[in-house]
Structure 1
Amino acid sequence: MHIEYDHENDLAYVSLVARIADGTAVRQFTLETPSGADLNLDFDEAGRLLGIEVVGARAGLPEELLRQASGPGE
């Protein structure tokens, strides 16, 4: 599992696999959370969850987790 956080845009991405190749995530499901963050769940063709994008990450994730996350592209 790897977490990236874009502080400027308040977006986090939690990768559940080592690498998500281009075109692998073929389905996306969006959920609204009670905290106000939106979750975009990325699935492969077999229905396996690959990663989770958190829009409004400061509202939806613990601050400690965001501090430990790498920056975009790191």
Structure 2
Amino acid sequence: MADIRVTYDQKANAAYIYFVDPQARPKVARMYPCDPVEVGGMINLDFDENERLVGIEVLAASSKLPQCLLDVAERLDIEGA
């Protein structure tokens, strides 16, 4: 099973789920926003130039993602993280 990196900024209440090595810095060629009215928040799907899904940005993450996932996510809002 592949490792998936998840980052979370509690202050912004935003999470990002990487489906590729984040060190490779995949170039996002297209972002597809999901309808905020339909999902009750903003979820953006990021695709590379080959139309492969490289990541998902989740705003209002605390209401959209399981708490257990946020608990183990790499924190971006903590000093030294």
Answer yes or no: same fold by TM over 0.5.
yes
Give 1:3 shift: 0.2
The aligned residue for residue 65 of structure 1 is: 69
Which has a greater percent of strand?
A: 1
Q: Give the aligned length.
A: 73
Moved >3 Å (runs of 4+): 32-35
- Which has more helix, going by share of residues? 2
Aligned counterpart, 1:27: 30
Describe the superposition over 1:34-72 as per-residue Cα deviations: whole angstroms up to 9, x where unpaired. Answer: 552311111001100000000100110011110110112
| Structure 2: runs of 5+ lacking an equivalent | none
Q: In 2, distance between residues paired with 1:72 and 1:40?
A: 19
Unaligned stretches of 5+ residues in structure 1:
none
RMSD value, Cα? 1.9
Greater radius of gyration (CA): 2
Equivalent residue letter for 1:3: V
Structure-1 residue corresponding to 2:17: 14
